Structure 1
Amino acid sequence: MPVVIAGLIALVVAMLGMTITEIGPWYHSLVQPRWAPADAVYGVAWTAIYALTAIAGVTGWLAMPTWREREWLLGLFALNGFLNILWSLLFFRLHRPDWAVVEVLALWVSVAALIIVIWRRSMPGAMLLLPYLAWVTFAGYLNMIIVRLNGPFY
């Protein structure tokens, strides 16, 4: 049952983020650094990250010995999902990469917190989140460069 629930939650977060993400004229008008990935890379990366995150969630859930720890873990995952969706809203829907670059710091901290909490009970579960942390680090840097190349935003 935890596998099904984790998979559904990951799917809901992914679908909400996808519906908010609008790759249109505004996004294509932004000056991007030469090393920015092609648009197709983002879908592949996020699919892999959501799958690994769901597996990490199940692994962490099963490793937690008490309901209190499981509740904390669920709360951290819920916060992370909210921050993930919020970044897409700020960047793509509100066209505020400047706000998104600040928000991505909170997203990064939430991923790091998940790694730390799961690491205490399951090192393999925590390691499944390392690609997510690496991607958010990369995305945050890219976001910062986009702000630098295109700002100010109003």
Structure 2
Amino acid sequence: MKFKPVAFIISIAITLGIGALGAWATAQSVKTWYTTLNKPSFNPPDSLFAPVWTTLYVLIGIAAYLVWIRRDKIVHFPRTVAIYLIQLILNLAWSFIFFYLREVGFALAEIILLLIFVVINGLIFYKINKWAGLIFIPYLIWVSFATLLTYNIFILN
């Protein structure tokens, strides 16, 4: 399949845009409210989150691109796009719920839903393009870790 640079850039720009909105939602609380929370011993340093999420958003964008370039061969393409968009919206929503609204319990319920949609999205992408599905594995691992972290912060606070 021929490389399509505009589609590639748009795919990555969409996910990085979601990440930027999430960063905006977290910016104030990370320096204030978040520092007051009791966190588990395995909580990573704050400086780790931005590079990890940036890398994951680029990977998610690449996976979306690999699916997009095969869109005319996908029987249920609108459903594939819907699952992908729901997963992105849930990703963004968690930042707003946890950091902006400061609702840890609601954020825990929401991240479990996000985790389910990441799995579904990854499996759908895998059926379309093996690499697109495999690229979702680091995202799945990180969201699983974030779910565990959110659960522990909920319990500790």
TM-score, normalized by the shorter chain, greater than 0.5:
yes
Tell me the equivalent position of 1:138.
Answer: 145
Task: Give the conservation status (yes or no) of the 8 Å contact 2:15–2:61.
Answer: yes
Task: Give the conservation status (yes or no) of the 8 Å contact 1:108–1:133.
Answer: yes
Alignment of 1:128 with 2:135, yes or no, is: yes
The percentage of counterpart residues that share the same residue type is: 27
Distance, in Å, in 2 between the alignment partners of 1:41 and 1:132 is 15
**3-state SS of paired residue (1:35):** coil
Distance, in Å, in 2 between the alignment partners of 1:40 and 1:96 is 22
Distance 1:105 1:139, change over 3 A: same
Distance, in Å, in 1 between the alignment partners of 2:93 and 2:103 is 11
Matches of residues 24-103 of structure 1 in structure 2 within 5 Å?
24-66=31-73, 69-103=76-110
- Two-structure CA RMSD over aligned residues (Å): 1.4
Tell me the equivalent position of 2:25.
Answer: 20
After the TM superposition, which of the residue ranges 129-138 and 65-74 deviates more from structure 2? 65-74
Distance, in Å, in 2 between the alignment partners of 1:129 and 1:140 is 16
Task: Give the conservation status (yes or no) of the 8 Å contact 2:39–2:156.
Answer: yes
Question: Deviation of residue 70 (structure 1)?
Answer: 2.9
| Structure 1 unaligned regions, length at least 5 | none
Tell me the equivalent position of 1:10.
Answer: 15
Task: Give the conservation status (yes or no) of the 8 Å contact 2:38–2:153.
Answer: yes
After the TM superposition, which of the residue ranges 72-81 and 123-132 deviates more from structure 2? 72-81
Task: Give the conservation status (yes or no) of the 8 Å contact 1:10–1:51.
Answer: yes
Distance, in Å, in 1 between the alignment partners of 2:103 and 2:31 is 15
Question: Deviation of residue 80 (structure 1)?
Answer: 1.1
**3-state SS of paired residue (1:23):** helix
Question: Deviation of residue 68 (structure 1)?
Answer: 5.1
**3-state SS of paired residue (1:60):** helix
Question: Deviation of residue 2 (structure 1)?
Answer: 1.7
Task: Give the conservation status (yes or no) of the 8 Å contact 2:16–2:58.
Answer: no
Distance, in Å, in 2 between the alignment partners of 1:130 and 1:67 is 22
Structure 1 counterpart of 2:126, which letter?
W
TM-score (norm 2): 0.90
Alignment of 1:148 with 2:145, yes or no, is: no
Distance, in Å, in 2 between the alignment partners of 1:5 and 1:71 is 18
